[in-house]
Amino acid sequence: MTVSVNNNKISPIVANQRIKFLDVLRGVAILFIFMANILSFSGFFSFPDDALITGLVFPFDEVLDFIIYTLVDGKFYSIFSLLFGIGCAMQFNKLGNNKSHFAFFFRKRMFWLLIIGLIHLCLFWLGDILALYALLGFVLIWFVNSSNKNLIKFGIILILFPIINWLFVHLTKLNYAEFFFNLNTSYYEYYGLPLEEWEGNKYADFQQFIANESLSDYFKYNIGNTFIRIGAILEEGRIFKVLGIFLIGLWAGRKILNEDLLNNVKFLKKVVLWGIIIGLPISTFRTYIEFFGGREDFWGFLKTVAYAFGTVPLALGIAALLALWYRKSPNGLNIFAPVGKMALSNYIFQTFIAVIIFYGIGFGFAGKFGFTVIMGIAILIFILQIIISKLWLQHYKFGPIEWVWRQLTYGKKIIISQPK
């Protein structure tokens, strides 16, 4: 099979093939993912409370933090992962459910997403999710012909597997993630970057990293912080749960295409009901552990169990609730569609904007604001992204980074401008 043959068979999904609600859901996910990520960008976890500017901290900050953590943390990246699996199912369907054609195309797509993700991860922000998505995308190819029953079965097993991962690490004392944390410490020591000591161990000093005013040191820090990201992903078992959600998304994509799942009101209501009944109490318990629990293994295990059993059900319940809302009143949610259509560009631009606002190489506002103000900044930035995305899509078919990704994937020039 030659490249030219496959390139003639594949092309980007055109406007009339898109399901607008999925763009809306993607846009909503981008907002709440940013509301979770901006806490790291802003130095919320790294700077002491006495660094905050008087008047920008409110008495209800902790209550709002508790609520947002319960409803947002982990939920919307799970929805984003679900959408990734749905998109995979749609691409597979578009290529006639031909696994060989799809595998050729999807590997190229994932390769270039990996390159974009690694640039974002290694040079700009350790919280990148794109590189992990791309690597697991290669694995997802193996499942495109699996039965619906197996997709659900393996999806659930993988979502719960972080519990097994935790037990393995703590019972065998083989903490393989620690290898990468130690690599980060060694990297910092080698390049003379600041470390802080805690409980007899040395760790990267994130307060100094964020406050740093040297652009070259900023890149140097970020390369070393890549090891922290790898270690964190392994430690929490994120590889398993993301792949598990991908499989659920692959199943959902088939149901959307073949059984009109998004208009199955009875099914959506069941997902909302059980997602909230199961997910909300367990997620609230997880938040309680995070805020008030200790650092002992007992609390760590409970938090891992609560995350595994609570996060995905609540995420699915939220997604189904938005689907029902969209069926009844689409106009109120369509405002999110332009951001969702340019999700990759907006996700990466959020990094650039946040770094400019908070880091020392920009305006240096890290550690200056309380929780409520930080959330307000996130919403204002997102409103700006809504406006820019809408204006951009009046003239162009894709976001700028989406366009580059498509050109690289399809190996041919793609016209980005809208027809006049």
Mean pLDDT (whole number) for 267-272: 98
Q: Which has the higher per-residue pLDDT, 95 or 114?
A: 114
Residue 51 placed within a domain: yes
Q: Does residue 189 lie in a domain region?
A: no
The pTM of the full predicted model, rounded to 2 decimals, is 0.93
**Domain span including residue 34:** 3-149+246-291+306-410
The string of pLDDT tens digits covering residues 63-95 is 999 999 999 999 999 999 999 999 999 999 998
206 in a domain, yes or no? no
Q: What is the distance between the alpha carbons of residues 315 and 383, in angstroms, rounded to a whole number?
A: 23
Q: Which residue has the tokens 């318990």?
A: 285
In a domain, 275, yes or no: yes
Query: CB–CB of 147/153 below 8 Å?
Result: no
User: pLDDT for 283-330, tens place per residue?
Assistant: 999 999 999 998 899 999 999 999 999 999 999 999 999 999 999 999
Domains contained in the chain, number: 1
Buried b (16+ CB within 10 A) or exposed e, 201-223: eeebbbbbbbbbeeeebbebbbe
In a domain, 225, yes or no: no
Note whether residue 403 is domain-resident. yes
List pLDDT tens digits, range 118-148.
999 999 999 999 999 999 999 999 999 999 9
pLDDT band at 10 (very low <50, low <70, confident <90, very high): low
What is the CA 136 to chain-centroid distance, rounded?
Answer: 13
pLDDT in tens, 200-235: 788 899 999 999 999 999 999 999 999 999 999 999
Q: b/e map of 55-88 (b: 16 or more CB within 10 Å)? A: eeeeeebeeebbebbbbbbbbbbbbbbbbbbbbb
What are the helix (H) ranges across 16-147? 20-41, 61-71, 75-94, 99-119, 130-140
In a domain, 203, yes or no: no
First-to-last alpha carbon distance for the chain, in angstroms, is 37
18 pLDDT more than 80? no
